Structure 1
Amino acid sequence: MTATQRIVIVGGGTAGWMAAALFARFRPAPYAQITLVESDAIGTIGVGEATVPLIQHLNQVLGIHEPDFVAATQGTFKLGIEFVDWCRVGNRHFHGFGDYGEDIDGVPPHHHWLRLHAAGMPEPIEHWSMPWAAASRDRFAPPQAMNGAAAAFKHAYHFDAGLYAQLLRRHAEANGVTRIEGRIAQVLRDGESGDVTALNLDGGREIAGDVFIDCSGFVSLLLGRTLGVDFVDWTHWLPCDRAMAVGSARGGRFTPFTRSTARAAGWQWRIPLQHRSGNGMVYASRHLSDDEAAATLLANLDGAPLGDPRPLKFTTGRRARFWEHNVVAIGLAAGFMEPLESTSIQLIQTGLARLIELLPSGVIDPAIVTEYNRQTITEYERIRDFLIAHYCLTQRDEPLWQECRAMTLPDTLAHKLATWDASARVPLYDLESHQEPSWVAILTGQERLPRGWDATAGQTDATRLAALFAERRDALARAAEKMPPHDRFIERTCMAIAA
């Protein structure tokens, strides 16, 4: 039998306990001995409480049932993101977890919508989207409860990240993970190989390991501070470097979607939970002071604030490598992508899935390290491009947005936009997190309309096409009306137990 592999996780929070729970599931004893080291004296950072549908797979493989998960985390359901004032003040568009229907005469539906729009049809493309049909009415039911075209969507969640970490911790510890409380005083390395061999804690306790997973947050204690892996700064493309976060009393519509509202020097999020709303202001400090950001945030809440805004400084970007020697960084220790498209927990999940797939039971081969880094770098860069597109397509006149409109884009994004402009097609690269319907939602919503579209779309009878559009729109509306209101669905299926 292969010797037991000692896996040491540095840091708790969502990243650390997600790592612990997944390794306990896929590397149980006697194949691995899993230890998590964290200190209650060191706080965790939660920059967002919204997710993408991929998290459903995580909970499924861990055996966490959806009603139990939503109730335990004060959660709600998410069908997408509404963007307000991003293109210009007064503009609204929706990025939903679904598409716009099946191909018509062999052509993706957005080509036909572009034709109708050019002929004067004012309705936005999201009217062909089941997520928007439900979200705009504050209604929700899971896809499996629907039929036909009305079932062609996915959903994600809003939840309290601290409560989710607690749920994961209970799950991990029940499956053999050992938690050790303590602050790390020293990281020990092998003098010949350079690998990390052990952690010395305050008080003298030593924790030895074979593989170390760095979930230490922005400090990146092992990968950045100890191994000296550089940070690749993307501020020139994603200029926001500060955030203010504050909870507020529930107020306004109980929406099954996240809202992102552009402001003069950044943007504001609103995330509805069962017990409160999560709110935050993401902004560029060279255009807005901390006091101004806090004032803007507090002036635009749906309910009374539940405390003072908490500041957070960050730099958008990634480590030059995510796996170095026997250390792999996950979460904020690996990089930071601002929460505009709720990809933070996704990157934790995909990084861990990739690690579990590639990590050998014995000696770590450099080829595996190279492949892990290649895939992870590619995933980060594809998400980076998607986020940049939100910024660079704006028509707003404030200094921040003028700078974003004039920025030199990464070659991969420049090519994607040029291809869209010429043909209404979105070229997709390896490891794209966002497929063509997502790009169509942002590009059309930001009023970046192409010069032309598939020629076959012009051959479809115009009267028939208009009828097909109206038929789908009306069918989705009828299906959405049959869904229960979002709050009623939660009350019936997954209401949190009052403390």
Structure 2
Amino acid sequence: MRDTNNRQPVRRVVICGGGTAGWMAAAGISKVLGKLLDIKLIESEEIGTVGVGEATIPTLMNFHNVLEINEQEFMAETQATFKLGISFESWRDVKQDYIHSFGTTGIDHWTAGFQHFWHKGVERGVASDYGDYCLELKASLENRFAHLPNNGMNYAYHLDASRYAKYLRRLSEPRGVQRIEGKIVSYAKHDNGDVRSVTLASGQVIEGDLFIDCTGFRALLIGDAMQEDVEDWSQWLFCDRAIAVQTSSVGDAVPLTRSMAHQAGWQWRIPLQHRVGNGIVYSSRHLDEETAHKQLLANVEGKTLIEPRVIKFKPCQRRNTWKGNVVAIGLSSGFLEPIESTSIHLIQRSVIRLMQSFPSDGIQQADIDEYNAQCNREIDHIRDFIILHYHVNNRTDAQFWIDAREMRIPESLKHRIDLFKETGRVFRIPNELFAENSWIQVMLGQGIMPKSHHQTADLMADEELKAFLGGIKGRIDRTVVQLPTHQAYVERYCGRADAGAKAA
């Protein structure tokens, strides 16, 4: 417990590590508090970044609004494309696919969600696929996109993570962030256990009041200096390896992240303007590295641009990501595989949360406790959502999927599954990342069909229900057919990919 009677104002912020996490922290803090703080960011060109977080979710726009980022400039600089959702291929069973889109589906009633009316429509034979009632999902299937009035299309981005870090650096340095080149080799601590300074290989010593640990899996400060351990989640999430590779583009970029399940995990494909990001995620208990490497390269399109990189990880989370005067952001705080593209979101939420409770007048234990509690609630919900994808499956072709189906899951997730299975109801905990429609799309996609629906849906006569469902579907179909192709829209909105690549 900290001594709150001897608080020192926080004026010197030291961000240890660059990459996406470090420069997002630098950009956010300098934009909001840069005039009040001395902000230093230490990174070494010798240390590479993991750099596979190239798919995002719509919440990134909140962060960009804070930074007052121009979307067209950002997309040109990072060679970004638009993203309407994730295509989950062979997750439920081999060759059974579905899409988790970013949109809402249908129209809710105050007593019951749209899924209840859709379920009744299925019973009466007047409803088509659940996804037919979601604009974003239908547009993604047709490879179409456009900005619509009143934010009528929910979307995110595919982006080049390395270029994104460089773009944020260009925003941050004019706002007072001082970048220091060097590798951190040691640290020194105060008598109370807080970090006093870090020392670079050059011998330079950098002191600070607040240290932000963005050192990746190394976790130099939160793990080594502060001795904050991780909670291992590998009993639920078996994957512990990834191999990443970049390939040339051979076709039009689609507004979907592809997540293709295989016998011991899954493979991603992320289309950018100038290239495609690929990778395979797998369980080393179920698949060896050589086979995974061959499988990855056998299932990519285009010429490989880099040598495949192997990434070893543990699915885990530190229960205290803020300890003493150290705040861990990014991979140093823990890791969840990017099935739902949450890596950059978690960085963003940590940065915003820190700015909201920034200890300008001194670090207080109450702030630390609340920050950690909020982080834990959010990560637990995301963890459960990811486990859902694995646990609810019908695959019998590989032991990996059988083991995932038969494992004992967290009680919090079991309750959500049972509630939907029995009643068709879902709930959203306040400030939880994934909304009701996300849970519904994945649970239906993975094969859970509710046994019942809300009685409100029974009040609609057959013709009324048919007209209600048909009206929604018709409006979506008419909108989608008028949208330009995603590729054409990106080229018009951002400039052609070849021109943007040369400019960057």
Give yes or no for TM over 0.5: yes
CA distance in 2, matches of 1:464, 1:153: 27
AA in 1 matched with 2:450: P
Note the alpha carbon deviations across 1:257-293, whole angstroms, 9 max, x for none: 1111111111111111001111111110111111111
Q: Does the 8 Å CA contact 1:260/1:267 hold for their aligned counterparts? A: yes
Note the alpha carbon deviations across 1:348-398, whole angstroms, 9 max, x for none: 000111111112212211111000000001111000000000000111011
Structure-1 residue corresponding to 2:94: 89
Q: Does the 8 Å CA contact 1:223/1:229 hold for their aligned counterparts? A: yes
CA gap 1:107/1:431 in 2 versus in 1, 3 angstroms? closer
Structure-2 residue corresponding to 1:219: 218
Task: Normalising by structure 1, report the TM-score.
Answer: 0.96
Say if 2:38 is the partner of 1:33: yes
Say if 2:63 is the partner of 1:47: no
Structure-2 residue corresponding to 1:204: 203
CA distance in 2, matches of 1:165, 1:325: 27
Say if 2:15 is the partner of 1:9: yes
Structure-2 residue corresponding to 1:409: 409
CA gap 1:123/1:91 in 2 versus in 1, 3 angstroms? farther
Structure-2 residue corresponding to 1:431: 431
CA distance in 2, matches of 1:118, 1:253: 39
CA distance in 1, matches of 2:172, 2:289: 38
Note the alpha carbon deviations across 1:173-224, whole angstroms, 9 max, x for none: 1111001111112111002x11101111122211110000000000101000
Q: CA deviation at 1:102?
A: 1.9
Q: Does the 8 Å CA contact 1:378/1:430 hold for their aligned counterparts? A: no
Structure-2 residue corresponding to 1:139: 144
CA distance in 1, matches of 2:99, 2:172: 37
Say if 2:103 is the partner of 1:98: yes
Note the alpha carbon deviations across 1:204-249, whole angstroms, 9 max, x for none: 2111100000000001010001111011111111110001111112
Q: CA deviation at 1:100?
A: 1.1
CA distance in 1, matches of 2:148, 2:22: 31
Structure-1 residue corresponding to 2:275: 276
AA in 2 matched with 1:413: L
Structure-2 residue corresponding to 1:460: 460
Q: Does the 8 Å CA contact 2:317/2:333 hold for their aligned counterparts? A: yes
AA in 2 matched with 1:246: V
| Stretches of structure 1 lacking an aligned partner (at least 5 in a row) | none
Structure-2 residue corresponding to 1:257: 256
Q: The residue matched to 2:93 in structure 1 has which SS?
A: coil
The 10-residue stretch of structure 1 (159-168 or 88-97) with the greater mean CA deviation from structure 2? 88-97
Structure-2 residue corresponding to 1:307: 306
Trace 1:358-377 onto structure 2 (pairs within 5 A).
358-377=357-376
Structure-1 residue corresponding to 2:30: 24
The 10-residue stretch of structure 1 (119-128 or 269-278) with the greater mean CA deviation from structure 2? 119-128
Q: Does the 8 Å CA contact 1:98/1:152 hold for their aligned counterparts? A: no
Structure-1 residue corresponding to 2:323: 324
Structure-2 residue corresponding to 1:483: 483
The 10-residue stretch of structure 1 (51-60 or 467-476) with the greater mean CA deviation from structure 2? 467-476
Q: Does the 8 Å CA contact 1:419/1:427 hold for their aligned counterparts? A: no
Structure-1 residue corresponding to 2:4: none
CA distance in 2, matches of 1:393, 1:118: 23
Structure-1 residue corresponding to 2:5: none
Q: Does the 8 Å CA contact 2:144/2:480 hold for their aligned counterparts? A: yes
Trace 1:279-290 onto structure 2 (pairs within 5 A).
279-290=278-289
Say if 2:107 is the partner of 1:107: no
Q: Does the 8 Å CA contact 2:321/2:327 hold for their aligned counterparts? A: yes
Q: Give the aligned length.
A: 491
Say if 2:72 is the partner of 1:67: yes
CA distance in 1, matches of 2:165, 2:274: 17
Say if 2:135 is the partner of 1:130: yes
CA distance in 2, matches of 1:105, 1:339: 34
Q: Does the 8 Å CA contact 1:99/1:152 hold for their aligned counterparts? A: no
Say if 2:123 is the partner of 1:118: yes
How much identity, in percent, do the aligned residues show?
A: 42
Note the alpha carbon deviations across 1:17-39, whole angstroms, 9 max, x for none: 0101111011122x111000111
Q: Does the 8 Å CA contact 2:118/2:127 hold for their aligned counterparts? A: no
CA distance in 1, matches of 2:449, 2:255: 28
Q: CA deviation at 1:430?
A: 4.0
| Runs of 4+ off more than 4 Å | none
CA distance in 1, matches of 2:218, 2:249: 34
Q: Does the 8 Å CA contact 1:270/1:279 hold for their aligned counterparts? A: yes
The 10-residue stretch of structure 1 (208-217 or 122-131) with the greater mean CA deviation from structure 2? 122-131
Structure-2 residue corresponding to 1:78: 83
Q: CA deviation at 1:431?
A: 3.3
Q: Does the 8 Å CA contact 1:281/1:293 hold for their aligned counterparts? A: yes
Task: Normalising by structure 2, report the TM-score.
Answer: 0.95
Structure-1 residue corresponding to 2:474: 474
Structure-2 residue corresponding to 1:338: 337
The 10-residue stretch of structure 1 (341-350 or 471-480) with the greater mean CA deviation from structure 2? 471-480
Q: CA deviation at 1:117?
A: 2.2
Structure-1 residue corresponding to 2:164: 164
Q: CA deviation at 1:91?
A: 1.1
Say if 2:179 is the partner of 1:176: no
| Stretches of structure 2 lacking an aligned partner (at least 5 in a row) | 1-7
CA distance in 2, matches of 1:301, 1:120: 40
Note the alpha carbon deviations across 1:393-445, whole angstroms, 9 max, x for none: 11101100101101111111111111111211113224311010000100111
AA in 2 matched with 1:207: I
Q: Does the 8 Å CA contact 1:252/1:302 hold for their aligned counterparts? A: no
CA distance in 2, matches of 1:451, 1:489: 42
